[in-house]
Structure 1
Amino acid sequence: MAASGVAALLSLALLVFPSREVEAKKTFLDLRLDNPAEFHEPSQPHEPQSATDSPFAQIQPSSPDDEVVDEPEAIVEADPLSKELTVANGDTLSTVFAKVGLPSKTVHEVLSSSKDAQQLSRLKVGQRLVFQLTEQGELASLHSPISKLESIRIDRSDDSYVFKKEQIKPEVNTAYAHGEIESSLFLAAKRAGLSHNLTMDLANVFGYDIDFAMDIRKGDTFEVIYEEKTIEGERVGTGNILAARFTNRGKAFTAIRYTNRQGNSSYYTAEGESMRKAFIRTPVDFARISSRFSNGRKHPILNKIRAHKGVDYAAPRGTPIKSAGDGKVLLAGRKGGYGNTVIIQHGNRYRTLYAHMQGFAKGVRNGSTVKQGQIIGYIGTTGLSTGPHLHYEFQVDGVHVDPLGLKLPMADPIAKNEKQRFLQLSQPLMARLDEERATMLAMREQ
């Protein structure tokens, strides 16, 4: 029994106090299991395991091929003097400068260096800022793209900073678009890939012949050849409409952009007649006609029969109102039931009136001159008005006429000494419009 007891005690001791060999083995296992993921879990695809992460990397031989692959990764590192940040919500120029280790003194020096440099303080969320620092930790330069076509930068010069804008010149090509109107020009143009600005330009080109407030019908079509700006194959903007054709109620109108030898650009028909008239057809884009010219209309507020000597265009409050033609402002102020009113004299024979405005555009006042299409005010409800709209009147030799039925006087055609030059430009553009249209129709039939 005594011998058995001693044997049991020895066995227990061996279990509690392992031998040196067992202790060494246990220590070796513990070292390997300190970071089990290094040995038992595969690296994630987007985080490749580096050889230097392993505790055995220093004793593993490397082949010449391994050196070619691994050497750039080990040597190439970010320039410690270059810092790049993206503006976050709540950031200011001071907080951004502080993030790269620049004091508020530097912010003050940059902003006070010039009036233009103050543009840096108008940061936008997502804007990228690239700082270049000196070895002493001071600002050497700051570069920031503000659009795909423009960037701004600050460079240190002696004890001050120099601000400048850098323009990126895009490649300009021509593009073609076509569309068919289902409900509105805007929706059709959007489906055709035209920007808002191009859509407005298209309406302005044909605005002398087509009233976009009342003439547009389902099934009307348009085709456009326009300038497209790209940088490294990416579209960054659009330029001018070079040629366009708009078919309204079965009648086709064509426009070609032409710049004469004096550098003046305008739109003409394929035959060289000016698209520009002395007056535009409607002074409000895409508005709805709420009341027509009439000699016996019942006034909605006065509740009595009174001649309505103009046309009412209903549109949202604040919609821009354009001058129908070049002229001189006779009145920009209050006029009884008309409310805020602008009256413009166009030459000796013509006069236009714009009433119920919310307010006047900057620079429009008594005696000022305005150009055709210039914004002169905004839709409102001043005076005797039941809702936001423009009351528009047109006078010829002092007599009110219906502006919707008026035959507009024409502007000058292409000068005779430039006719041949114009045709050399217009004929290829017209041919391309026809070719693109034929290709489009052929694809529809397939």
Structure 2
Amino acid sequence: MIDKDYRYYIHKTKNRKADKAYWHKKYRFRKKHVPWMLTLGCISLLSTGIGLTLYGRELSAYPTSPLIQIDHLILGTITTHQPSPTAGPTAIAPKPRAITPTPELHSWQNITIQKGDNLSRIFSQLGLSPRQVHEVMSLGKPVRPLALLRPGQLLQIAFKGDNDSRRLVALRLNFSPIEYLEVRAKDDKFRAKRISRNIQTRIETVTGTVESSLFKDGLQAGLTNKQIMELTQIFGWDIDFALDLRPGDKFKVLFEEHYLQDKKVQNGPILAAEFSNRGKTFQAIRYADGNGHSAYYTPTGLSMRKAFLRTPVNYSRISSHFNLRRKHPVLNRIRAHKGVDYAAPTGTPVKAAGDGKVVFVGHKGGYGKAVILQHGTKYSTLYGHLSRFKQGLKVGTKITQGEIIAYVGQTGLATGPHLHYEFLVNGVHRNPLTVKLPQANPIPSQLKQDFQRYATKLVAQLDAVDTTTVVLNQSSNPQSK
């Protein structure tokens, strides 16, 4: 029998001793009630947990130590109170002064520029409005680097507000460990400035001898790849580093090292250098004029830079020299070779040998694709067998020395990829490898005296390297004792 309230069963049991049966209630929960009971139990446990959490949070809002309380107060807001001696037990303590909250600190978000990134895209990803991009870029010349972001650069951005009202606080574009561009919001406007961190400058000297290659021996001596390239550029007008190097050639380099908080962050410029090649020694001094323009000069004040590059391409070998009686490899007959052929892979950049303007660009018979530059009224240069020209190159374009004008190819009468280079003086072909190149402008006369004092000091430091090396060698040689 089942009772109507569904709380228990009415069970009939027989008493063995009395040998008679009687009815009694035996409680037993029905199976269909079990899920409801489990649900109510879970709700009870969850309510208890929430209550304990809120209680613990309320307790943690109060400091448990006087030291913690003082640490979070502004010094000017801490007040002391001593009860009056006459005050009774019912005296009311004075109301404490309000605590001024500390200003909100904005954390910097570091962004490494990837290929295809620009300021608009980065601002959009951070939830900053396009209007703020316009406000920043409207600052003009100081923020021009932000329009020319390069992969690998570090951009730091700080902002405030939520997604709907996010506002740029500051922006930094790092050029180097010691120099960066900063854009900061002030009085609802942005201001930009270029900032250089305070650094320590130390002078370092490296010496070495060429045994196998300049790059290998330069790295072993303590130079970086960049410094070795700078060294070849400084002396590149006097030394052909692809053909003229010999075992036993020596070099000295005097350069700056930049330290930030006693930690080296980068190398500075080469201040002075010396290179001895095939028994001839060349010295170069870096000098900056009052306008901040720097260049390298000989100790007497002549420019190390010539009006023309000796070789306008990075080549692997010279495949054909200047020869007025050469037999042409394609035509198979005697035909004057009025230039030098520099073998190089297709696509190798070709640089302008000197400042000038383009007087011809296009296809020119056996030269294939060619460029002719006019340098003043006396000199001109020709570049032949090119694969393609620099984009936008046309007749009348002004060109500066070292600027890329085209790329090595095999067009025209050519048996392989190379650059055919000609050098003309007053319309007459000259051997590009041996022609005497005109000097660039020397030190101005008004700066000559200051340069001489500066150069004398640096040359003395270069000469002191030999003395120091001799002393060190003698002290380390047991036979000298």
Report what 2:106 is aligned to: 82
Distance of 1:80 and 1:416 partners within structure 2:
58
Distance 1:382 1:130, change over 3 A: same
Distance 1:315 1:250, change over 3 A: same
Report what 2:369 is aligned to: 340
For the pair shown, which has the larger CA radius of gyration, 1 or 2? 2
Calculate the aligned-residue CA RMSD, in Å. 4.2
Partners of 2:357 and 2:399 within 8 A in 1 = yes
Deviates more, 1:293-302 or 1:393-402: 293-302
Partners of 2:153 and 2:174 within 8 A in 1 = no
Q: Any residues of structure 2 matched to 1:50-89 within 5 Å, and which?
A: 82-87=106-111
The correspondence for 1:427, drawn from 456, 468, 471, is 456
Distance of 1:192 and 1:293 partners within structure 2:
37
SS, match of residue 284 in structure 2:
strand
SS, match of residue 451 in structure 2:
helix
Report what 2:204 is aligned to: 175
Report what 1:27 is aligned to: none
1:93 Cα shift?
A: 8.4
Distance of 2:445 and 2:361 partners within structure 1:
40
Report what 1:440 is aligned to: 469
Q: Any residues of structure 2 matched to 1:129-278 within 5 Å, and which?
A: 129-133=156-160, 138-139=166-167, 141-147=169-175, 148=177, 149-153=179-183, 155=185, 158=188, 162=190, 164=192, 166-171=194-199, 172-259=201-288, 265-278=294-307
1:131 Cα shift?
A: 2.8
Distance of 1:225 and 1:72 partners within structure 2:
56
Deviates more, 1:201-210 or 1:173-182: 173-182
Report what 1:384 is aligned to: 413
TM-score with structure 1 setting the length: 0.69
Q: Identity of aligned pairs, percent?
A: 42
Distance 1:287 1:424, change over 3 A: farther
Listed one character per residue, the Cα deviations across residues 24-70 of structure 1 (whole Å, up to 9, x for unaligned) are xxxxxxxxxxxxxxxxxxxxxxxxxxxxxxxxxxxxx99xxxx87x8
TM-score with structure 2 setting the length: 0.64
Q: Any residues of structure 2 matched to 1:294-443 within 5 Å, and which?
A: 294-361=323-390, 364-411=393-440, 413-414=442-443, 418-443=447-472
Deviates more, 1:122-131 or 1:262-271: 122-131
The correspondence for 2:133, drawn from 111, 118, 125, is 111
Distance of 2:173 and 2:264 partners within structure 1:
17
Report what 1:29 is aligned to: none
Distance of 1:151 and 1:98 partners within structure 2:
21
The letter for the 2-side match of 1:210 is I
Distance of 1:83 and 1:232 partners within structure 2:
23
1:328 Cα shift?
A: 3.2
Partners of 1:140 and 1:156 within 8 A in 2 = no
1:245 Cα shift?
A: 0.5
Distance of 1:88 and 1:277 partners within structure 2:
40
The letter for the 2-side match of 1:333 is G
Distance of 1:146 and 1:276 partners within structure 2:
32
Q: List alignment gaps of at least 5 residues for structure 2.
A: 1-63, 74-101, 477-481
SS, match of residue 420 in structure 1:
helix
The letter for the 1-side match of 2:209 is E
Partners of 1:170 and 1:229 within 8 A in 2 = no
Partners of 2:112 and 2:155 within 8 A in 1 = no
The letter for the 1-side match of 2:208 is G
Partners of 1:356 and 1:380 within 8 A in 2 = yes
1:375 Cα shift?
A: 3.0
Deviates more, 1:304-313 or 1:409-418: 409-418
Q: Any residues of structure 2 matched to 1:23-42 within 5 Å, and which?
A: none
Distance of 1:126 and 1:411 partners within structure 2:
35
Report what 1:18 is aligned to: none
Distance 1:437 1:169, change over 3 A: farther
The letter for the 2-side match of 1:217 is R
Distance of 1:327 and 1:185 partners within structure 2:
32
Listed one character per residue, the Cα deviations across residues 172-212 of structure 1 (whole Å, up to 9, x for unaligned) are 44332233323333333334444444333322221221112
The letter for the 1-side match of 2:135 is S
Distance of 2:171 and 2:460 partners within structure 1:
46
1:252 Cα shift?
A: 0.8
1:385 Cα shift?
A: 3.0
Deviates more, 1:385-394 or 1:225-234: 225-234
1:253 Cα shift?
A: 0.7
Report what 2:313 is aligned to: 284
Listed one character per residue, the Cα deviations across residues 410-443 of structure 1 (whole Å, up to 9, x for unaligned) are 4455455644332211111001001123323443
Give the count of matched residue pairs. 377
Distance of 1:409 and 1:137 partners within structure 2:
63
Partners of 1:331 and 1:366 within 8 A in 2 = yes
Deviates more, 1:127-136 or 1:296-305: 127-136
The letter for the 2-side match of 1:185 is L
Distance 1:113 1:291, change over 3 A: same
SS, match of residue 113 in structure 1:
helix
The letter for the 2-side match of 1:421 is D
Listed one character per residue, the Cα deviations across residues 79-112 of structure 1 (whole Å, up to 9, x for unaligned) are 975344444899998998899xx7x4x3434334
SS, match of residue 286 in structure 2:
strand
SS, match of residue 421 in structure 2:
strand
Distance of 1:373 and 1:121 partners within structure 2:
22
Q: List alignment gaps of at least 5 residues for structure 1.
A: 1-60
Distance of 2:303 and 2:263 partners within structure 1:
35
Partners of 1:170 and 1:230 within 8 A in 2 = no
1:251 Cα shift?
A: 1.4
